[in-house]
């Protein structure tokens, strides 16, 4: 290091992060030559630039939080006028305080609303970056160009070494994008480290929005345009190699890359484009957004046309299969044509490639288009066929195999159950699904006309024209696309399903197969499947797991690893269902069988017993109850401490009783007199304190109950019906209020809980007052007095309360119990009608969207949904065996549910294509006819 560089590093005005202890980085930008008067010359390393970016990201988050809090607390105009802008440090604070002092009749909020000048928040932390603007702008350019050049060189080296396959990387997950761009809609890409570096420096460009810092943002936009243009050139170069020198899956990977970069460029433009005039200097038009959109559409069209061409010109050109008039039987016996088998094999492999690289919606649409256009060739082939008698078995096997293959692909093509049975009105905007239904119906017609025996056809049309599943379905105009599905799976796609849609067990099986056939978790479909038939899917999982094992020996045999995995699943189920205030009965419906078999209802009655070990789901319920109890307890402790301070103003807050051994050593000339209780006045004051505390508890009791989630309230409402042995104790309060007040009494008698809650050690007097309050509260509940508290005091408190407010406690209990009544839950289910038998009817599409939004906005909500999805995916064979109403149940199904995800944990890629299995299988069944 030269002497000048050493001098620059030790410069006192530079931040600490540029000290010599910073981690060395080989990608250090060359020193930037600045014009005279613009500071000293020095450079930044990529590590230092990342540190600055992390600092800017933290400050942006803090600014956003302060912005939101300030808007909520002081700057929301309740009249409906436009709220004032919020930007940073509160100006004119001293003036506002002086005005409030002069005019004490007006509140601060009134002064803010009446102020003619908009009061703004101005954050000045960006000023700290001004001295580093030239260095940051230069380093951003150098670092991104260096990363791009090295990554493309590495890709070129891998390509020239003979490796034709591209290495895909998972795209990073942006914070807050779980709803706008969920995991299943994020494509994969090659050269992912380039865009990863751009994403890492984006917060720094966002922070540099002021006029003095705009050079950094302009530099970021310019270098991003250069980098993405370089990647686009490489994409176009690699596209030309498919299929002559590269496999088809590379074209899918290039499509995913183009889509991802297009998404990121749109995101950059949205984040960096400002409405003020200073941002007009940022060259946002340099970003090649339109070019990427055009390339994406071209790649998609090229992929679709090439796949269709492969199917029509190569796979389906089996010369041996075209000799329909040959009097000899097909040499392969009753097996279908080899071309049909290869066609299904190709489409299954294409589906795997699409699922691994492109968003689910795009992959689904491409697969549907290729399937539809290749089906047209098959329809033309078999509709023109005039097979000889010996070739009837071959054409029958071919068409049957085609319908079975398409039926297996339809679970991946369709996004909703309605798309399976409706073809006139495309569901979800996919017109290719309707085309597939129409073509399969034509194949079915060809199968009947060409291969059915003539006497049977004549007898059917002559004597029974109105009977039979096909003729009945033909008269059902509501679902014309279900004809061929009913012929393939008559038990699943019945005539009733053609008229009324899928219901009951058939709908459950369809939702399960659609859910597990999707490339990634579909939150909307998952939530619909969970709520369907009174949470039947979750009930099946719990009933066949170790949670509901009847034999204690079997339950004890569960390993700790499996037990912990089951507890995690139970936590996910509880957190998802307990947040569904629009469907309050869902939690109870899912857990009722488990509570019955495990005899868990009594745990809710003794929930206040914190020493007794409880199942994990009961611990979650206890945590919710204790959260409400602690809110009440905090106010009660504050009330007692304030009372102590007012009764003994000269004594310290934490009074200590002086021992007699110390009093004997005090000199007489000090005239020290130890403080003693005040006798009757103190007892009267204690009664008043207890009355105030009881009034506070019963006044806020309805609000405490209302703060509990509706699903938890309904669970206690149902549990009360299972606890008939405690009917006498619960007659006046009900189970929920009994548990709430019992937990409050238990906390009032527990010194450790009290001191932990208030954060201060409590003296003996405060603990005695709180224990007295617990005894009085138990007296109002009808539990009687406990030891350690004088009964006359408790009796005096209860008598005084009854004299001042006759039957007031009973009225408050009744008011709180109304919040746990049937009417409260029916009101909570507005928009989700109730079925007969106390179940929950199917929620509308709009209601599902609102429920999903509510879940994902809570901490961990989206992760809990993904965890439930992966458990359902792992246990699909068992679930299908329990739900299956079709004629092809899975060959193997385990007897117990496994909660150990193993390699299928969230974030693990989808299972790879197994050619040895897919070659002779249609789904889980072989190509045996």
- Asked whether the beta carbons of 875 and 565 are under 8 A apart, the reply is no
90-107 mean pLDDT: 42
Two tokens, residue 55: 């600092």
pLDDT of residue 66: 84
Query: Is 794 or 618 the better-scoring residue by pLDDT?
Result: 618
CA dihedral 518, 520, 522, 527 (to 10 degrees): 100
Tell me phi and psi for residue 39, to 5 degrees: 105, -175
- Asked whether the beta carbons of 165 and 250 are under 8 A apart, the reply is yes
- Asked whether the beta carbons of 418 and 500 are under 8 A apart, the reply is no
Exposure class string for 194-232: b at 16+ Cβ within 10 A, else e = bbebbbbbbbbbbbbbeeebbbbbbbbbbbbbebbbbbb
Look at 216-220, 413-417, 535-539, 700-704 and tell me which has the smallest mean pLDDT.
413-417
> Above pLDDT 90, what percent of the chain?
23
Class at the top of the CATH hierarchy for domain 616-653+680-827:
mainly alpha
pLDDT digits (tens, 9 = 90+) for 479-498: 556 788 888 888 888 777 76
pLDDT of residue 820: 76
Sign of CA dihedral 555, 559, 560, 563: negative
CA distances 832 to 196, 856, 858, Å, are 44, 20, 21
Look at 541-545, 841-845, 847-851 and tell me which has the smallest mean pLDDT.
841-845
Q: Is residue 822's pLDDT more than 70? A: no
Question: How many residues appear in the chain?
Answer: 929
Query: Is 106 or 765 the better-scoring residue by pLDDT?
Result: 765
Sign of CA dihedral 423, 429, 430, 432: positive
Position 92 confidence tier, pLDDT thresholds 50, 70, 90: very low
Per the omega criterion (within 30 degrees of 0), is the bond before 346 cis? no
Q: Where are the domains of the chain?
A: 23-88+123-178+187-276, 316-517, 616-653+680-827
Range ranked top by mean pLDDT from 53-57, 547-551, 557-561, 651-655: 53-57
pLDDT of residue 90: 40
Tell me phi and psi for residue 804, to 5 degrees: -75, -40
User: For residue 581, which of 905, 840, 210 has the smallest C-alpha distance?
Assistant: 840
Show Cβ contacts of residue 747 under 8 Å, excluding neighbours closer than 6 positions.
626, 629, 630, 633, 753, 754, 757
DSSP 882-911: HH--SS---S---SS-----GGGSTTPPPP
pLDDT digits (tens, 9 = 90+) for 429-457: 468 888 999 999 999 999 888 887 778 77
pLDDT of residue 185: 53
Distance CA 812, CA 31 (A): 75
pLDDT of residue 841: 53
Residues 717-726: contacts with CB under 8 Å, at least 24 apart: 717/820, 717/821, 717/822, 717/825, 718/588, 718/592, 719/595, 719/601, 719/604, 719/605, 722/595, 722/596, 722/601, 723/601, 723/602, 723/604, 723/605, 726/605
CA distances 909 to 352, 374, 865, Å, are 11, 29, 17
pLDDT of residue 487: 85
Q: Which residues pair with 925 in a beta bridge?
A: 922
Distance CA 778, CA 776 (A): 5
User: For residue 595, which of 714, 705, 512 has the smallest C-alpha distance?
Assistant: 714
pLDDT digits (tens, 9 = 90+) for 246-293: 889 889 999 999 999 999 999 999 888 865 545 457 788 889 999 999
DSSP state of 842: P
Look at 124-128, 367-371, 741-745 and tell me which has the smallest mean pLDDT.
124-128
pLDDT of residue 744: 92
- By the 10 Å C-beta count (0-12 exposed, 13-18 middle, 19+ buried), 761 is classed as exposed
Q: What is the CA angle 855-858-860, rounded to 5?
A: 95
pLDDT of residue 300: 95
User: For residue 696, which of 607, 623, 801 has the smallest C-alpha distance?
Assistant: 801
Distance CA 90, CA 118 (A): 11
pLDDT of residue 84: 40
Position 25 confidence tier, pLDDT thresholds 50, 70, 90: very low
Q: Is residue 545's pLDDT more than 70? A: yes
pLDDT digits (tens, 9 = 90+) for 28-45: 455 555 454 444 556 788
**Gyration radius (Cα) of the chain, Å:** 36
Sign of CA dihedral 921, 922, 926, 929: negative
pLDDT of residue 424: 54
- Asked whether the beta carbons of 865 and 536 are under 8 A apart, the reply is no
pLDDT of residue 19: 35
Q: Is residue 528's pLDDT more than 60? A: yes
732-759 mean pLDDT: 85
pLDDT of residue 795: 82
DSSP state of 19: S
Q: Is residue 530's pLDDT more than 80? A: yes
Tell me phi and psi for residue 791, to 5 degrees: -65, -35
Two tokens, residue 313: 């010109």
Position 79 confidence tier, pLDDT thresholds 50, 70, 90: very low
Query: Is 168 or 351 the better-scoring residue by pLDDT?
Result: 351
Distance CA 757, CA 751 (A): 10
- Asked whether the beta carbons of 22 and 45 are under 8 A apart, the reply is yes
Q: Tokens 């020239």 label which residue? A: 160
Chain centroid to CA 291: 33
pLDDT digits (tens, 9 = 90+) for 406-420: 999 999 998 888 778
User: For residue 748, which of 778, 770, 769 has the smallest C-alpha distance?
Assistant: 770
Look at 622-626, 637-641, 833-837, 865-869 and tell me which has the smallest mean pLDDT.
833-837
Distance CA 889, CA 880 (A): 7
Q: Which residues pair with 834 in a beta bridge?
A: 840
Distance CA 187, CA 254 (A): 10
121-122 and 925-926: which strand pairing?
A: unpaired
Q: Which residues pair with 794 in a beta bridge?
A: none
Angle between helices 248-272 and 289-310 in degrees, nearest 10? 160
Q: Is residue 210's pLDDT more than 90? A: no
Q: Residue 207 is inside which H or E element, if any?
A: helix 192-207
Distance CA 352, CA 369 (A): 16
DSSP state of 106: S
- By the 10 Å C-beta count (0-12 exposed, 13-18 middle, 19+ buried), 292 is classed as buried
How much of the chain is in helix, strand and coil states, percent to nearest 5?
Answer: 65, 0, 35
Q: Which residues pair with 364 in a beta bridge?
A: none
Q: What is the mean pLDDT of the chain?
A: 77
142-159 mean pLDDT: 90
Sign of CA dihedral 866, 871, 875, 879: negative
Q: Is residue 578's pLDDT more than 90? A: yes
pLDDT of residue 6: 40
Distance CA 542, CA 894 (A): 14
| Three-state secondary-structure class, residue 465 | coil
User: For residue 839, which of 577, 600, 597, 588 has the smallest C-alpha distance?
Assistant: 588
Two tokens, residue 611: 């020493």
| Three-state secondary-structure class, residue 739 | helix
Query: Is 902 or 380 the better-scoring residue by pLDDT?
Result: 380
End-to-end CA distance of the chain: 79
pLDDT digits (tens, 9 = 90+) for 260-273: 999 999 999 988 88
Listed in sequence order, the DSSP H helices in 707-763 are: 710-721, 727-730, 735-748, 751-758
Q: What is the CA angle 338-340-341, rounded to 5?
A: 65
Two tokens, residue 637: 């402790």
Position 575 confidence tier, pLDDT thresholds 50, 70, 90: very high
User: For residue 114, which of 103, 122, 129 has the smallest C-alpha distance?
Assistant: 103
Q: What is the CA angle 758-762-768, rounded to 5?
A: 115
- Asked whether the beta carbons of 347 and 367 are under 8 A apart, the reply is yes
């Amino acid at each position: 290091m030269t002497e000048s560089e050493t001098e620059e590093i030790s410069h006192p005005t530079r931040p600490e992060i540029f000290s010599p202890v910073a981690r060395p980085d080989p990608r250090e930008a060359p020193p930037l030559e600045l014009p005279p008067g613009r500071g000293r010359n020095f450079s930044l390393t990529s590590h230092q630039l990342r540190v600055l970016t992390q600092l800017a990201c933290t400050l942006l988050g803090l600014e956003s939080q302060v912005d939101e809090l300030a808007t909520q607390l002081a700057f929301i105009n309740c009249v409906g006028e436009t709220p004032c802008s919020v930007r940073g440090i509160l100006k004119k604070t001293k003036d506002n305080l002086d005005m409030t002092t002069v005019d004490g009749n007006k509140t601060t909020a009134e002064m803010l609303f009446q102020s003619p000048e908009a009061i703004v928040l101005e954050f000045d932390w960006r000023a700290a970056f001004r001295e580093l603007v030239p260095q940051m702008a230069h380093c951003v350019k150098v670092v991104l160009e260096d990363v791009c050049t090295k990554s493309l060189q590495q890709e070129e080296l891998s390509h020239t070494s003979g490796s034709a396959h591209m290495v895909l990387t998972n795209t990073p997950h942006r914070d807050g994008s779980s709803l706008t761009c969920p995991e299943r809609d994020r494509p994969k890409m090659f050269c992912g480290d380039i865009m990863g570096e751009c994403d890492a420096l984006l917060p720094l460009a966002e922070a540099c929005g002021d006029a003095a810092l705009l050079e950094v943002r302009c530099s970021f936009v310019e270098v991003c345009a250069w980098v993405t243009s370089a990647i686009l050139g490489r994409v176009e170069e690699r596209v030309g190699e498919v299929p002559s020198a590269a496999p088809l899956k590379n074209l899918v990977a290039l499509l995913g890359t183009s889509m991802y970069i297009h998404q990121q460029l749109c995101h950059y433009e949205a984040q960096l484009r400002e409405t003020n005039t200073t941002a007009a200097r940022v060259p946002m038009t340099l970003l090649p957004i339109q070019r990427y959109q055009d390339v994406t559409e071209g790649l998609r069209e090229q992929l679709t046309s090439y796949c269709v061409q492969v199917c029509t010109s190569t796979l389906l050109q089996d010369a041996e299969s075209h000799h329909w008039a040959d009097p000899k039987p097909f040499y392969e016996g009753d097996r279908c044509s080899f071309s049909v088998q290869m066609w299904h094999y190709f489409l299954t492999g294409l589906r795997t490639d699409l699922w691994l690289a492109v968003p689910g919606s795009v992959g689904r649409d491409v697969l549907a288009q290729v399937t539809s256009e290749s089906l047209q060739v098959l329809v033309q082939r078999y509709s023109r066929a005039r097979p000889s008698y010996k070739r009837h078995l071959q054409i029958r096997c071919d068409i049957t195999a085609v319908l079975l293959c398409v039926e297996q692909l339809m679970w991946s093509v369709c996004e909703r159950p309605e798309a399976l049975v409706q073809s006139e009105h495309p569901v979800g905007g996919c017109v290719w699904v309707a085309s597939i239904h129409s073509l399969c119906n034509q194949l079915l017609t060809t199968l009947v006309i060409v291969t059915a025996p003539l006497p049977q056809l004549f007898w059917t049309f002559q004597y029974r024209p109105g009977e039979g599943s096909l003729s009945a379905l033909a008269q059902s105009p509501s679902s014309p696309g279900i004809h061929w599905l009913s012929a393939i799976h008559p038990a699943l796609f019945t005539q009733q399903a053609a008229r009324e849609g899928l219901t009951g067990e058939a709908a459950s099986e369809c939702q399960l197969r659609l859910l597990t056939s999707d490339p990634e978790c579909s939150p909307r479909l998952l939530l619909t499947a969970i709520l369907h038939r009174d949470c039947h899917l979750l009930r099946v999982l719990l009933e066949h797991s170790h949670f509901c094992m009847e034999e204690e020996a079997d339950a004890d045999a569960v390993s700790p690893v499996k037990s912990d995995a089951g507890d995690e699943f139970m936590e996910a189920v509880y957190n998802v269902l307990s947040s569904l205030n629009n469907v309050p009965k869902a939690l109870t419906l899912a857990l009722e069988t488990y509570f019955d078999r495990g005899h868990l209802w009594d745990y809710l009655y003794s929930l206040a017993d914190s020493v007794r070990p409880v199942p994990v789901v009961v611990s979650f319920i206890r945590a919710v109850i204790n959260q409400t109890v602690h809110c009440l307890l905090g106010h009660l402790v504050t009330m007692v401490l304030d009372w102590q301070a007012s009764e003994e103003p000269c004594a310290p807050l934490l009074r200590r009783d002086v021992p007699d051994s110390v009093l004997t050593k005090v000199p007489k000339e000090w005239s020290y007199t130890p403080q003693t209780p005040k006798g009757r006045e103190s007892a009267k004051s204690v009664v008043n304190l207890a009355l105030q505390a009881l009034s506070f508890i019963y006044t806020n009791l309805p609000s405490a109950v209302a703060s509990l989630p509706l699903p938890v309230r309904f669970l206690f409402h149902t549990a009360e019906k299972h606890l008939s042995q405690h009917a006498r104790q619960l007659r006046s309060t009900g189970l929920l209020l009994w548990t709430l007040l019992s937990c409050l009494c238990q906390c009032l008698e527990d010194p450790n809980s009290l001191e932990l809650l208030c954060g201060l050690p409590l003296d003996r007097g405060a603990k005695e007052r709180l224990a007295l309050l617990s005894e009085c509260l138990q007296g109002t509940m009808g539990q009687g007095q406990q030891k350690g508290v004088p009964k006359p005091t408790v009796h005096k408190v209860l008598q005084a309360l009854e004299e001042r407010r006759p039957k007031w406690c009973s009225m408050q209990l009744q008011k709180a119990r109304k919040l746990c009544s049937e009417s409260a839950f029916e009101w909570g289910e507005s928009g989700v009608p109730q079925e007969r038998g106390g179940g929950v009817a199917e929620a509308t599409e709009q209601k599902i969207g609102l429920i999903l939004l509510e879940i994902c906005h809570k901490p961990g909500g989206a992760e809990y949904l993904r965890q439930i999805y992966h458990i359902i995916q792992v246990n699909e064979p068992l679930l299908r065996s329990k739900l299956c109403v079709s004629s092809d149940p899975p060959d193997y199904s385990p007897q117990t549910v496994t909660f150990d995800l193993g390699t299928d944990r969230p974030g693990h890629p989808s299972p790879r294509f197994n050619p040895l299995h897919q070659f002779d299988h249609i789904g889980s069944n072989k190509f045996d006819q």
